[in-house]
Structures are given as C-alpha cells and as structure tokens.
Structure 1
Amino acid sequence: MSVEDTRNAATVESRLHALGHTLPVPPTPRANYTPGKVIGDKLYLSGQIPFVDEVLTVTGKLGEDVTVEEGQKQAALAALNALGAARQILGTLEGVSVANINVFVACAPSFAEQHVVANGASDILTAAFGPDEAIPRTAVGVPGLPLNAPVEIQLLLTVPAA
C-alpha cells in the first residue's frame, strides 16, 4: 500500500500496518521513571530509544559508528516505541495528536545532520497521524545517550477529553 492509500485507512494503527509497521510492546523501564503521564489533555512521554524486543540492535554515534540512513531507521523505531507506550497508557491512539517531538541524536562533534536523522521519526508520525498533521520538532546532537543508543525520541501528545 502506498503512502497515498494510507490516508484512507481508518485508524492510526491501520495506517502504520498498511506501511508494514506494528506498534511494539513498550520496553521495560531500565531506571526510575514511568513511560508517560497524562496531565489534563496532554500525555508527556518519557524518552524512548530504539529497542527491538528489549534489545538495542544498533549502538554508537552518528558520524562515527552509525550512518545517517541507519540513524533514520533507529529514529523510526524509537518513534514506534513511543507510540506503543502511548497506546499502552491510553488504550488507543484514536483522537490523539502530536503536540511536539524532540529527537536527540548521539553524534560525533562534527556531525551536522541531526535534522536528517530526525526525519525517520517524523516520517513515522506523519504516516500514523496523516500528512496534514503538522509536527513541531527539535533535533539536537548530544555526546551520548542511555545504553549507547544512537537516538532518543520524546513526544508530547494531546489526548481527547475523558
């Protein structure tokens, strides 16, 4: 199914599924934090790294150990993990909207393509919520991330009134 065809898909999860993505079960927190917290009409999600079945399959820094293309894939995985956490907390992603995304990229000091790596996460969110969903975003280079992850995603979502 093409990206154009996914516009007609009924739900966030069906749009992702049409593109070959499934929402993962969120990874077990490895420190003293909660995956997310609802305050008013906002869901504040903790940072998510690109675990696959509780394992980081790629580690290292962009510009040293990890290519831009692989970084984009890892950003997409982290975004899927964030959506999986949101679904677990809320029970559904219907009626949810992305208020903001922060993408942290572990990188060499001379690396300057953080915004390109962040496109991997933005592409997943656009696929999930539709091409008309404007997504404010920040992409930041950092010297290191937990467990030597190459990227970390933090989402702020608006949720329907209860």
Structure 2
Amino acid sequence: MNTVKHKIIEALTELGLTLPDAPKPGGSYVSVNVRGTVAYVAIQFPIQGDTYLYTGKFGKDLSIQDGYDAARLCALNTLAQIDKYIGFENILGLNHMDLYYQAAEGWDEGPLVANGASELFAYALDSAGIHSRAILGVQSLPRNFSVGITTSFTLIHSSI
C-alpha cells in the first residue's frame, strides 16, 4: 500500500470508518471522468454495499444527524471511487463539492448536512481535502435518497 493511501486509511480508521467498495453507476455513465488534470466524480449517494440508506426528506423523515451521516457516507463512496479509478497518490486535492438534498418545506439546515462530507474530506485528505462547495435543495433525488454529492479533484498528472 502506498504512503498516501496508508495515511488516508489510517485517518478513516481513527474515525471508526473503512474504505468501502466503490458503488457501481446507476445508469449509462462512468463513475469518474478525467479531462486533463481534473477528475470529475459522478454523484455519490448514501449507499453501503447494495443497500440504500438515508432515504426520505430532512425535516420530515430524517434528522440533521442523519443528514450528516448520509453526507459522510457519500464522501466515503467518493473516496472509494478515487481509490479505484485514480489512486490517492495521483491527486493534488479536492477542488469543489456540490451537495444536493431533499427536505420538507421550510427546512434550511443544508450546511450542517454538508459538513458531514466536508469534515470527512478535510480529515482524511488533510490540506488536500479543503474545498469550496455549493449546497442545493432539490424537489427529489433518485431512489428517494436524501442527499448526494458530486466532486472534482485536481490530478498531479494528466496521463491518468
């Protein structure tokens, strides 16, 4: 195991987490698309194995803590995609994250949900995990997932 991956696995272990197998795409697209020195990771949902977790709407079916945990799982799945298709040693850092969430009318705690992913990226990737983000409330998400994230990473080389 390379040194970069070892540090990330160690950080996840400190949090009581393990790097999962990368979820398969749910349609006709690729999980990671590389253009030049940027890798775009397709939307990741709170999926564990073949199980869909954290379905429903915040403020109705799910709590803020559920959202935090769901976003953290999305971030773990993102890291699994990077590990499988890019390799941690090939990334310079996380650029940006978009978080999409579905909620009951009037619920407005998206930033607290997004922190689940943002904090995991920052902890696992150290300074390479610091990023900008956008938080978007949507009417619905596929399979009634409560949250999903998309990300982009800068690569060290464009020949990945």
> Shared fold (TM-score greater than 0.5)?
yes
Mapped pair 1:141 → 2:160: no
One-letter amino acid matched to 1:102:
D
Provide the secondary structure at the position in 2 that maps to 1:125: helix
Give the match for residue 14 of structure 1: 10
More helix, by proportion: 2
Give the match for residue 104 of structure 1: 100
- How far apart are residue 133 of structure 1 and its match? 4.5
Provide closer, same or farther for how the CA distance between residues 78 and 132 of structure 1 changes in structure 2, counting only shifts above 3 A.
closer
- Matched positions, count: 153
Regions of 4+ moved over 4 Å: none
Provide closer, same or farther for how the CA distance between residues 101 and 120 of structure 1 changes in structure 2, counting only shifts above 3 A.
same
Provide the secondary structure at the position in 2 that maps to 1:69: helix
Inter-partner Cα distance in structure 2 for 1:17 and 1:139 = 28
Out of 34, 38, 44, the position equivalent to 2:40 is: 44
Out of 50, 53, 58, the position equivalent to 2:49 is: 53
- How far apart are residue 17 of structure 1 and its match? 2.2
- How far apart are residue 116 of structure 1 and its match? 0.8
Give the match for residue 123 of structure 1: 119
Where in structure 1 are there 5+ consecutive unaligned residues? 1-8
- How far apart are residue 94 of structure 1 and its match? 2.4
Inter-partner Cα distance in structure 2 for 1:62 and 1:94 = 36
**Contact kept? 2:94, 2:128, Cα under 8 Å:** no
C-alpha distance after superposition, 1:108-159 (max 9, x if no partner): 1211101111000011101111157431011111111111001001010111
Provide the secondary structure at the position in 1 that maps to 2:149: strand
Inter-partner Cα distance in structure 2 for 1:72 and 1:102 = 15
Taking structure 2 as the reference length, the TM-score comes to: 0.89
Provide the secondary structure at the position in 1 that maps to 2:95: strand
**Contact kept? 2:98, 2:151, Cα under 8 Å:** yes
- How far apart are residue 84 of structure 1 and its match? 0.4
Out of 17, 21, 40, the position equivalent to 1:25 is: 21
One-letter amino acid matched to 1:89:
Y
Provide closer, same or farther for how the CA distance between residues 68 and 39 of structure 1 changes in structure 2, counting only shifts above 3 A.
same
More strand, by proportion: 2
Mapped pair 1:94 → 2:86: no
Where in structure 2 are there 5+ consecutive unaligned residues? none
Inter-partner Cα distance in structure 2 for 1:25 and 1:16 = 14
Indicate the RMSD between aligned Cα atoms, in angstroms. Answer: 1.7
- How far apart are residue 10 of structure 1 and its match? 5.7
